[in-house]
Amino acid sequence: RQYQTTPAVTNSGIPDYAFAFDIDGVLVRTSAPLPGASQALKHLQSERIPFILLTNGGGKSEEERVSDLQNKLDVELDTSMIVQSHTPFADLTDLHDKTVLVAGGDYDKCQLVAQKYGFKNVVTPGDIVFLDYYKSFAKPLPKPIIPHSTSEEALKIDAMFVYNDPRDWGLDAHIILDALLSESGYLGTVSKKNNNISLPNKGYLQDSQPPFYYSNPDMWWATSYHLSRLGQGGFTAAFDGLWSSVTGGAHLPKTIIGKPHQETYEFAERRLRAHRKQLFGQVGLNDPLRRVYMIGDNPESDIRGANNYRSPYGSQWTSVLIKTGVWKEGTEPAHKPHVVRENVLDAVRWAVEDAR
């Protein structure tokens, strides 16, 4: 059934609303497009209604994810329209010249992503496990495809990132733990303070710990399997247990970005506004973006984030929960959406009516 969209427009005819789409469980499940996804995006593009893709997924470059989605959904996209879990890390320019550990996902792909962001010295657990002083504890992985320029002497890790759901939880956890307990990030050392069990919290002290960033808090996500699968939040919970057991309950300072966090939604809105400006050329003060419809499948990230988001740019976000992903109909969503719809196409149909 065709439906007419007479979008709410500004004085210069620019739509005053837009969309943010979650990806996994909304547009695709692993490699399979979900019902109505292609039609929904094509419709918005034909009506020139701006949208971005806002995902806690990652582990590959924005270019590669966009290319995958273009093929699966038969829709023209570009990297200005996507925010992945780790995309905001590019802005940590004060770390671009430092040595950073990037754990999680496919090590070589995540290393390339970090390098694309401007990080010049990126090591992964796949590099480190090859170094002589590390070979003893873990069976070496197949030789990394890209000969990483990792020298043999003890590495000093200045910051640690988890870019995507770890594949080898044990290896990633062990190397992150080593760095956290080390003397100022020197792998292969143990901070003398951490040897002094008389100190409070068994010696954990923040001044010797490299900053630690996670990119995605999702405990569960929707794949082609019928049951939701553990996401990066599962690894975080496991590592918290490991840290607590090893240090006797010491505090572990960490930064977690991704949906539902305010900063991630602000980053996404800046991307959406830039994309809207790119779409319409000049967008003036008389062309406000008043409403953004967040279409998601996960109450914890998509719905909670949109409900709690307070835009510093003046837009109101409306959460729309759909039934094709993590949330299961008949269960009470932990965070109440503005509306529930069957799938992404129904959600878009509802929103374009709501926006009139």
Contacting positions for Mg ion (CB under 5 A) = 22, 24-25, 297-298, 325
What residues numbered 212-231 form the site for ligand G3P, per CB under 6 A? 216, 218, 221, 231
Least CB distance from residue 325 to ligand G3P, whole Å?
7
Q: Identify what 216 binds: ligand G3P, Mg ion, none; CB under 5 to 8 Å per kind.
A: ligand G3P
- Least separation in angstroms between residue 270's CB and ligand G3P is 18
On the CB side of 74, CA atoms within 13 Å amount to 10
Q: Which of 25, 36, 104, 260 binds ligand G3P (CB under 6 A)?
A: 25
Q: Is 165 in the site for ligand G3P (CB under 6 A)?
A: yes
What phi, psi does 62 have (nearest 5°)? -60, -40
Among ligand G3P, Mg ion, none, what binds residue 272 when CB lies within 5 to 8 Å by partner kind?
A: none
Q: At closest approach, how far in Å is the CB of 26 from Mg ion? A: 6
Q: Give the number of residues written for the chain.
A: 356
Contact mark string toward ligand G3P, 50..79, x via CB under 6 A: -----xxx----------------------
- For position 23 contacting ligand G3P by CB under 6 A, the verdict is yes
Contact 271, 259 (CB under 8 A): no
The least distance separating Mg ion from the CB of residue 24, rounded to whole angstroms, comes to 4
Region 295-334 residues binding ligand G3P, contact defined as CB under 6 A: 298, 301
Per the DSSP assignment, residues forming a β-bridge with 186 are 156, 183
Q: Which residues pair with 103 in a beta bridge?
A: 162
Q: Give 23-47 as a 3 state SS string.
A: CECCCEECCEECCCHHHHHHHHHHC
Q: Closest separation between CB of residue 88 and Mg ion, Å?
A: 18
What is the spatial distance between Cα 204 and Cα 253, in angstroms, rounded to a whole number? 11
Eight-state DSSP code of residue 228: -
Smallest gap from Cβ 83 to Mg ion, in A, equals 13
The residue whose two tokens read 């918005």 is 44
- Residue 218 near which of Mg ion, ligand G3P, none (CB within 5-8 Å, type-dependent): ligand G3P
Instruction: Give the integer Cα–Cα distance in Å for 272 and 249.
Output: 41
Q: What is the DSSP string of 308-340?
A: H---TTS-EEEEEEESSSSS-TTS--SS--SEE
Which residues would be at the binding site for ligand G3P (CB under 6 A)? 22-25, 55-57, 165, 216, 218, 221, 231, 298, 301
